[in-house]
Every structure is written in C-alpha cells, then in structure tokens.
Structure 1
Amino acid sequence: MLRRAIFLALLLAPPAQAAETLRLNPGASTTLRLKENLSTGYSWRLDTAASESLDRVAVSDGGHKRGAEMPGAPGEHVWIIKGVAPGAATIAFAYQRPWEPAPVETRRVEVVVAPR
C-alpha cells in the first residue's frame, strides 16, 4: 500500500525544472516567453508564494501571444522582468488551470541585479 502511495505521489507531482539565471543591470529589462496552450485551460501565472525577494525586480504580464492560426494551436505567455534594486531574486511561475489545486509544470528564474 505504501509503495502505491509513493508511486502515485511521484506520478502526480509536477515535473521539476532547473532554474535559469538572468543577469540584469539596475533599470534594465528582458522578456521571458513561456509556451502555453490556452485552449486546454492551462496558463502561466506568477507564483508569488514560491518566489523570493520580488522587491528587487518588477515582473509585468506582457499577455498571451497566439501561435499558428489553427484553432487549438499553442502560443506563448510573455513576461517582462526589470531589475529594480541590486541583489538576487527568484521568480516562480506555475502552469495550471485556475480551478485545479496544483500546477502541471513550474518554472523558476533566478535574477541577479548588478551593474556590469
């Protein structure tokens, strides 16, 4: 029984993803594009509870960009990240349906804000 529970927990857990690191000058910004398919109900959201030191960056929702003209074709979600104050921040994103309790995928972005 315990083995089945562990197997089920591993099966249902969202896939872990290595964090990527961005380096920004204070005041500089960059764009992050995450693939998504809104026709499935899934979309990316900023997970503020899993993020750290968000006072060092500004994260803006750049909206959804449609993919191919075919119905149901995947597109992307655009996020604008701006360096505000020197230091490091971790931005966490969750890919999930709004009515479901857990994401199917997560993405972590480490941001280092420092003059070059």
Structure 2
Amino acid sequence: MSEIEVTENGTVASVKPGDEIVLRLPESATTGYQWMVDSIAGPIDVVSSDVSHTSSRPGAASERVVRLRAAGPGTAAARLALSRAWETEPVERFEVRLDVQAN
C-alpha cells in the first residue's frame, strides 16, 4: 500500500487496490465554508475527512484532509464541494479521477 497526495483539481492518477489517496484542500472553517464529499463513483471508499489546523490562533488558515482508499480495479472518481451548510450551490468544486490497476 502506498499513499498518493493530490492537491490539484482535475488530477488523474493511477493507483493500485489498497492505495490511500490523500486530498489536501485549503479551508477557512470560521467563514462557514467547508469542503464536503459531494459524490463518489467506482471502487473507492472514503476513509476520513478531517480539518488540520496550521496554527492555534483564531481565524488561522486550515486545510481539509480527505483520505480515500482504492478498493478494487476499475475507474473511480471523487468530487468535493466547497460551500456553507445553508447554501444550495457550492462556490468551488474539486475532482480527482483514479485508474485503479489490478495488482
């Protein structure tokens, strides 16, 4: 198992079953805007979605760290949306596509 870090929207990556894909997205939770997993397609699972703070100061920048795991061979995609809970349309989207190779 290996870990692949993705920080660019639209990334297409080749991975193997069991690999963990880590998405790191800047987030300012104090503004109400948070990244949420919008959709998952294909052989991948969401392992976790956590906020990592770069500083303990109020209002400091943070990042959303989403961990995905390739579950089996095939084509997969994950789409995340940046929005506030009370809004219906996101202000930004982030997508990653995966080609999960057989072992």
Which bin holds the TM-score, normalised by the shorter protein?
Answer: 0.7 to 0.9
Structure 2 residue ranges without an equivalent (≥5): 1-7
Matches within 5 A, 1:31-110: 31-48=22-39, 51-53=40-42, 56-110=43-97
Q: Give yes or no for contact 1:25–1:115 (8 Å, CA) kept in 2.
A: yes
Instruction: Give the alignment partner of residue 27 of structure 1, picking from 18, 21, 26.
Output: 18
Q: Give yes or no for contact 2:48–2:68 (8 Å, CA) kept in 1.
A: no
* Greater strand content: 2
Q: Which has the larger radius of gyration?
A: 1
Secondary structure of 2:55's counterpart equals coil
Q: Give yes or no for contact 2:72–2:102 (8 Å, CA) kept in 1.
A: no
| Number of aligned positions between the proteins | 96
Please, what TM-score do these two structures have when normalized by structure 1? 0.75
CA-to-aligned-CA distance 1:46-66 (integer Å, 9 cap, x gap) = 112xx432xx00112231101
Which amino acid in structure 1 is aligned with residue 12 of structure 2?
A: T
Cα offset, 1:18, TM superposition: 5.0
Secondary structure of 1:39's counterpart equals helix
Secondary structure of 1:91's counterpart equals strand
Could you tell me how far apart the structure 2 residues matched to 1:32 and 1:18 are?
10
Q: Give yes or no for contact 1:63–1:79 (8 Å, CA) kept in 2.
A: yes
Could you tell me how far apart the structure 1 residues matched to 2:9 and 2:50 are?
24
